[in-house]
Amino acid sequence: MIVVVAPGQGSQKPGFLEPWLADPQLAELLGSLSAAADVDLVAHGTTSDADTIRDTAVAQPLIVAAGILTARALFDRVDRARVAGVAGHSVGEFTAAAVSGVLTDTDAVALVAERGRAMAEAATQAETGMSAVLGGDQAELLARLDELGLEPANYNGGGQIVVAGELTALAALAEQPPAKARVIPLQVAGAFHTRHMQPAVERLRTAASAVTTADPDLTLWTNHDGSVVTEGARFVDLMVGQVSSPVRWDATMESFSAAGITGLIELAPAGALTGLAKRALRGVPSVAITTPDDLQAAVDLIEGAA
């Protein structure tokens, strides 16, 4: 049982789509996704610098488009019915929605582009940010967050929680972290997955109401609580609400384990989720697809699970 996963924001690197565009069909697909997003994803995936693609309004459609391209290339080589299911981390849920048939490729990218713009705008309303907290006691950390007015944003498993809120409070956390915990500031524009993103939720909900959904034709796990969602409209509703609520990737991985997953494949821009899986799903083989050269290893993993 192989699960396909899609990464979230922060995984992108300058030029990472360059090798994929040697395939004319993928180049054409990226062009159509660029038009749907009203963002030049070809330039941002090949020539734009790190600062440009760090912009939330650029990063989110770029990451989702990359995952869609990768999935298309993978399933051109192996029957998609042979994978056990799909999930995405944060913005990667839009990739998962496309891969599972809940949204069309173009609707997924158009909707996530609106998400990126809405979250970027919400982030200008206050001086906020995010930090990764590694190690320490979770209960102690959550109590400290309450003291400082911070919120847990991503429960990533493997002893990692990303927290978010006002920059002054994040600085105070770094100065006095919980015992045995390390606080690492992240290069992001705002406090994603917290109350600070509530204005973006309302804007995204309006955009999502105009999109047609279908029920998934692959098993589809949600970051909301790690459960399987069988109704497309419900999944989109959870994606909208997730903008201001925590990502429970820890629960998603626990569900993988309970389902008996025997392998994990991460779509481009890959690396973060396979890293988390090595700590939380010990012994489960994984493949990170970063370039077309990695596709054969992914195919082999799927075919070997038959």
* Catalytic (active-site) positions: 90, 193
Pick from 173, 258, 14: nearest CA to 161:
173
Residue 106: strand, helix, or coil: helix
Residue 251: strand, helix, or coil: helix
d(CA 129, CA 122): 12
| Contacts (Cβ under 8 Å, ≥6 apart) of 112 | 37, 60, 61, 64, 91, 94
d(CA 279, CA 110): 34
* CB distance 55 to 41 below 8 Å: no
Using the 8-state DSSP alphabet, how is residue 239 labeled?
H
Q: Are strands 151-157 and 160-166 parallel, antiparallel or unpaired?
A: antiparallel
